Amino acid sequence: MPKISEKRKAERREQILAAARRCFAELGYEGATVVRLEEATGLSRGAIFNYFPSKEELFVELAVQDSARMSELWVNEGLEAVVREVMDIDPAWLAVYLELIRRVRTDADFRGRIEARQAEVAPVNRAKVEQGQRSGEFRNDVEAKEIGIFVNLVLNGLALQRASGEEPPSAELVLSLLGDAIGGRAPAETPPRTRP
């Protein structure tokens, strides 16, 4: 029997991930049983678990895809693109993250695997903030890390609001107030320090 090519393997992997994403979003993480995953992918559980050893692993890979895409947007297109992306993501998929929050907090192994993958994009994201601080896009009187923390608070708040089905605020409002919090300060606002 001929071996399945690497290209075919990669395609099938993507096909499984895309179907799993739809399935989790539609049914919730708990509702997406193995039987439903089989239906959504059109593959047997044996074939699925040949690529991803567990349902949990499927979720972790989808989360990794998301952080990679967000990081790419952030680095290449900046804050506005990221805010607009969070406003565009399917609320049903966002809710899957929230459904798993309890497990992230209480299951050290699960948490560790997600954090390890997020740590891969963290330095690139941080470097982008530092670059913005040098160019004057972001304020430089607080640490780059602190700017990242605040942006994440706002993006997470937006994700939570969208997942709950609330009417989201306009991207313009979010960008304007967020800009006032983290944007570069005009020189007049930083009075020169008097030397003792």
d(CA 57, CA 51): 10
Piece of 3-11, 12-20, 50-58, 168-176 that binds its own copies (CB under 8 A): 168-176
88 binds its own copies (CB under 8 A): no
Q: Tell me which residues in 17-76 interact with its own copies (CB under 8 A).
A: 28, 30
Residue pair 42/12 in contact (Cβ under 8 Å)? The answer is: no
Phi, psi at 138, each rounded to 5° = -115, 155
Question: In sequence order, which residues have a C-beta less than 8 Å from that of residue 113 and are 6 or more positions away?
Answer: 60
174 binds its own copies (CB under 8 A): yes
Q: Tell me which residues in 112-151 interact with its own copies (CB under 8 A).
A: 142, 146, 149-150
Q: What angle do CA 56, 62, 68 make, to 5 degrees?
A: 135
180 binds its own copies (CB under 8 A): yes
Reading the block at residue 36, the tokens are: 């439903």
Reading the block at residue 70, the tokens are: 């967000």
182 binds its own copies (CB under 8 A): yes
Interface contacts to its own copies, rule CB under 8 A: 28, 30, 91-92, 95, 98-99, 101-102, 104-106, 111, 142, 146, 149-150, 152-161, 163-165, 169, 173-174, 176-178, 180-182, 188-189
